[in-house]
Amino acid sequence: MAKQVKLKAKLRTESGRGAVKRLRTGGVVPAVVYGAHTQPLSVAVEVMELENVLHHATSENVLVDLQVEDNGQTKNRLALIQEVQHHPVSDVILHVDFHEVSATEKLRTVVPVRALGEPEGVKTGGGVLEFVMRELRVECLPKDLPEMVEVNVETLQIGQSIHVRDVKPPAGVTFLDDADQPVFIVVAPVAEVEEVAPAEGALAEPEVIGAKKEEGEEGEAAEGEAKKGEAKKPEAGKAAAAGKPEAKAAAGGKAEAKPAPAGKPGAAGAKPEAKPAPAGKPAAKK
């Protein structure tokens, strides 16, 4: 059953950030007590006493006999520690919520489950024990509240499981979960897939990066030379075409007729010019 521990508290009348900051500076933690039949009550507890209670707790269900001091009078309140708020960086306790319960009324909460022993299927078959449920919902009186529910799993073989109906509840405790819900199960080990080695003749030759690079460079060089050769051909053609008119001009020079010597007719059929008649003689008749 859950241990009932005593914790001293003082009634807190001040509220607000300034008042809460002063409390924390003085080693006191602000807290609130909630209950189904009572109004919320603001209290303060010593941080050292609260840490001591939490440190020795074996489960999340901590039943506290809260001794609240008010104007010199002490009133006892039975409560569960509902929530503890910590600073995200320093982990210092900032605030506590208590849930007041009645000693004569049943309460509902969750209780952790713990497996006892090693399953036979894990020992001999190499199976794996899986936790399907790590908590069980229970209903009971505060005095019957268990810290945890222990289940013996030593007889489980591979493929077998333990359901909620198979778990024996502690005295005065009722399980609220579905009776057919599995709690523990032993599963077969996962077979590792072995890689098939390729046949000796199917081994691929290693790729030689350097050889490919050289072949590529040779191909690029050959392609460059071919382009240069193609570029030279038009130039040679242009030079040859430029030489042909000169040859034609030379041929034309050979075809030119030489000038006729003096006293000879320049061309056949041309009439000789008439010589002037000597002075004193009449020109000859034609």
DSSP letters for 64-79: EEEEEEETTEEEEEEE
Flag whether 227 is in a domain: no
Structure tokens at 99: 């849930």
Of residues 53, 40, 146, 60, the one with CA closest to residue 100: 40
Same domain? 112 vs 45: no
- The pLDDT score that the predictor gives to residue 269 is 44
pLDDT in tens, 164-179: 999 999 999 999 999 9
- The pLDDT score that the predictor gives to residue 220 is 55
Flag whether 143 is in a domain: yes
C-alpha pair distances (Å), 63 with each of 6, 57, 74, 128, 142: 9, 10, 18, 35, 8
Q: How do beta strands 73-86 and 28-35 pair?
A: unpaired
* pTM reported for the whole predicted model: 0.59
Choose one of 187, 215, 245: the last residue of a domain.
Answer: 187
Residue of higher predicted confidence among 59 and 155:
155
Q: Is the pLDDT of residue 113 over 90?
A: yes
Same domain? 51 vs 130: no
Q: In angstroms, rounded to a whole number, what is the distance separating the alpha carbons of residues 53 and 93? A: 13
pLDDT in tens, 243-258: 444 444 444 444 444 4
Flag whether 285 is in a domain: no
Q: Estimate to the nearest angstrom the gap between the alpha carbon of 53 and the chain centroid.
A: 41
Confidence of residue 16 (pLDDT cuts 50, 70, 90): confident
How many structural domains are present in the chain?
Answer: 2
Residue of higher predicted confidence among 267 and 279:
279
**55 Cβ contact partners less than 8 Å away, ≥ 6 residues apart:** none
Identify whether the C-beta of residue 115 lies closer than 8 Å to the C-beta of residue 131.
yes
Residue of higher predicted confidence among 191 and 44:
44
Taking the CA atoms of 7, 8, 14 and 18 in sequence, report the sign of the dihedral they define: negative
Q: How do beta strands 161-163 and 182-187 pair?
A: antiparallel
Same domain? 97 vs 125: no
Q: In angstroms, rounded to a whole number, what is the distance separating the alpha carbons of residues 150 and 113? A: 6
Q: Is the pLDDT of residue 95 over 70?
A: yes
Which burial class, exposed, middle or buried, applies to 62 when counting CB atoms under 10 A from its CB (0-12, 13-18, 19+)?
buried
pLDDT in tens, 37-75: 888 999 999 999 999 988 888 777 889 999 998 888 889
Structure tokens at 118: 């090693």
Identify whether the C-beta of residue 96 lies closer than 8 Å to the C-beta of residue 33.
no
Confidence of residue 22 (pLDDT cuts 50, 70, 90): confident
- The pLDDT score that the predictor gives to residue 241 is 45
pLDDT in tens, 194-238: 666 666 655 555 555 554 445 555 555 555 555 555 555 555 444
C-alpha pair distances (Å), 123 with each of 118, 129, 155, 158, 228: 7, 11, 11, 10, 80
Q: In angstroms, rounded to a whole number, what is the distance separating the alpha carbons of residues 5 and 13? A: 25
pLDDT in tens, 122-151: 999 899 999 999 999 999 999 999 989 999
Domain hosting residue 118, numbered range: 108-187
Choose one of 101, 118, 147: the last residue of a domain.
Answer: 101
Same domain? 22 vs 81: yes
Q: Estimate to the nearest angstrom the gap between the alpha carbon of 36 and the chain centroid.
A: 46
C-alpha pair distances (Å), 10 with each of 7, 32, 79, 237: 10, 11, 15, 114
**CATH number, domain with residue 181:** 2.170.120.20
Residue of higher predicted confidence among 66 and 272:
66
Q: Is the pLDDT of residue 259 over 80?
A: no
Flag whether 278 is in a domain: no
Count Cβ neighbours within 10 Å for each residue of 198-221 and write b for 16 or more, e otherwise.
eeeeeeeeeeeeeeeeeeeeeeee
